[in-house]
Amino acid sequence: MTPPPAPPRRASPSTVRRLSLYLRALDTLAAEGVGTVSSQGLAERSGTTPAQVRKDLSLFGSFGRRGMGYEVPDLLHRVRAILGLDRRWPVALVGAGRIGSALFAYPLFRERGFEIRAVFDNDPAKIGSCREGLEVRPVTELPCLIRERGIEIGIITVPAHAAQAIATVLVESGVRGILNFAPTRLHLPPEIEVNEVSLSMELEALSFALAARERP
């Protein structure tokens, strides 16, 4: 009888991560034509527990039917909406090196609604060349193009020493969220969302775990 709780502005980072996992699992289930799934079933496919699944979802509303579970197409739609994937997100890519080009071609981004609408680089050899049909532009044109194309998310794949300057310009041009692949900490206003992806950190976590096992 209580209306679904107003979407909380802040869910814990772990919850948001798991919502992504649920979405992935629901995509698979929908593709398999499965109509209904229990918290148990979702938990198994996402590597968590049934209680955790129910707790996470209940933060945003009551999407299941007692005794039945969750309807896959409905829950899929709900989780997409919760994650903000019920719209398109124009994205800019700064850095047209190997990692940047790889991300550009990553099909899952587009499937989720992320559309790379601008690519920037300062290397004269790259400017003017194309990535998947989009021309690489010099960074000087960044502010203008970001605004013109309504871009709100920037992906940084430039060398560490250049990342802070790029981030600052992105924010000044209207970007509100940044995915940073450069191995350096960015200093930005607190209202800007920053997500750091450190590839070497991931390998180092493996290294730590493997080395820990060999210690006397």
Q: Which residues bind its own copies (CB under 8 A)?
A: 6-11, 13, 16-17, 19-21, 23-24, 45-47, 82-85, 87, 89, 91, 97-99, 101-103, 105-106, 108-109, 112-114, 152-153, 176-179, 183-185, 193, 195, 197-213, 215
Strand partners, 136: 119
Q: How many CB atoms lie within 10 A of CB 149?
A: 14
Q: How far is the CB of 152 from its own copies (least distance, A)?
A: 6
Pick between residue 48 and residue 101 the one whose CB is nearest to DNA.
48
Is residue 78 a contact partner of residue 63, using CB atoms and an 8 Å limit? yes
Burial class (CB in 10 A: 0-12, 13-18, 19+), 57: buried
Q: Which is nearer to its own copies, 147 or 176 (CB)?
A: 176
Closest Cα to residue 49, out of 10, 83, 18, 16?
18
SS3 181: coil
Q: In terms of CB distance, is 61 or 90 closer to DNA? A: 61
199 binding partner (options DNA, its own copies, none; Cβ < 5 to 8 Å by kind): its own copies
Q: Which residues of 38-51 are buried (b: 16+ CB within 10 A; e: fewer)?
A: ebebbbebbebeee
79 binds, among its own copies, DNA, none (CB under 5 to 8 A by kind): none
What's the rounded Cα separation, in Å, for the pair 151 and 34? 36
Binding partner selected for residue 40 from its own copies, DNA, none, CB under the kind-specific 5 to 8 Å limit: DNA
**Which C-beta is closer to its own copies: that of 67 or that of 84?**
84
| Residue 42: closest CA among 66, 83, 8, 71 | 71
Residues interacting with DNA, by CB under 7 A? 1-2, 12, 14-15, 38-40, 48-52, 54-55, 57-58, 62-70
Structure tokens at 165: 């300057």
Q: Which option in its own copies, DNA, none does residue 215 bind, with CB closer than 5 to 8 A by kind?
A: its own copies
Q: Least CB distance from residue 127 to its own copies, whole Å? A: 20
120 contact choice in DNA, its own copies, none (CB below 5 to 8 Å, kind-dependent): none
Alpha-carbon span 51 to 66, nearest angstrom: 14
Nearer to its own copies by Cβ, of 39 and 46: the residue is: 46
- Residue closer to DNA, measured from CB, 2 or 200: 2
